[in-house]
Structures are given as structure tokens and as C-alpha cells.
Amino acid sequence: MILGIMMAPSIESLTGTGLPSSGTGGSSTTLSMPTGAVDIVAQAQISACEADFSSVETAIVTYYSDNGKPPGAGTTWATSNPNGAPIMQSWPSGAPYFTLVWSGTVLTVTPRCGPASTDSIGTKTPRTSCYAA
């Protein structure tokens, strides 16, 4: 999954870039990903979004369990702790494919394209949140 996340921007950047061919004459060849590769990249983005959402949910539950109340808005509650180790090493970033935002009461997933969802990873039909990443 991590390799898929790391490769997604690289593979996506190759789509239709019009890289010059190695031949002479100044012609160019346009690279395009096979349909299967596009599906793999999309699935990697969805999987990364689902995993990140789950990680943040777990952090929220952990914070609530430790403190008896939900964490405040933002990310610092998860990534810093003056009394010991933070709950998370860093806040997950799915940019540019999706973002996760904790408002203090609601966890929102906003995809690059398509509608956001609150307190869920979204829906497959219609494609919302993680499935629209």
C-alpha cells in the first residue's frame, strides 16, 4: 500500500506528458497509462484514504479514552504531547488526492474531486470522499 501511495504521483505525472521520442525528426510520443494501471493508481489512492481515516479515528478514540473528552479541533492534539509520546507521529496527508480535517466533533474527508463526507470514508455509488479521491 505504501509503495502504491508513493508511486501514484509518479505514474499520474506520466499520463499524457508528451515526452519526446528517442528518434530524430522532432516528433514526440505521448505516453498513456493502460486502463489497468489507472485502476491500480485509483485503488491505491482509495486504500491510502481508508487507512488514513482509520488511523485518525483510532487516534480520536485513544485521545478520548486517555482524557475523558474528545480532542479539540486541528491536529496538534494528535501530533504533540508534553507529557510523553504523541498519539500519531504526523497527521496523514493524502494531498493532492484527499484531506482529512478534524473539527473537534466531526472528521471530514474531502476528495480532490467529488463530494466530501463526514464521519465516514464515503460511498462507492455515488462516489464520495475516499472513493472520489
Please tell me the predicted confidence (pLDDT) of residue 23. 46
CA distance 126 to 51: 21
**Cross-strand partners of 107:** 102
What confidence score (pLDDT) does residue 35 get?
65
Reported pTM: 0.70
Assess whether the previous peptide bond of 71 is cis (omega < 30° from 0).
no
pLDDT score of 21? 42
pLDDT tens digits, one per residue of 115-129: 999 999 999 999 999
pLDDT exceeds cutoff 90 at 6: no
Distance, CA of 2 to CA of 115 (rounded, Å): 25
pLDDT tens column, 68-96: 999 999 999 999 987 888 999 999 999 89
Q: Which residues pair with 108 in a beta bridge?
A: 101, 118
Chain centroid to CA 45: 6
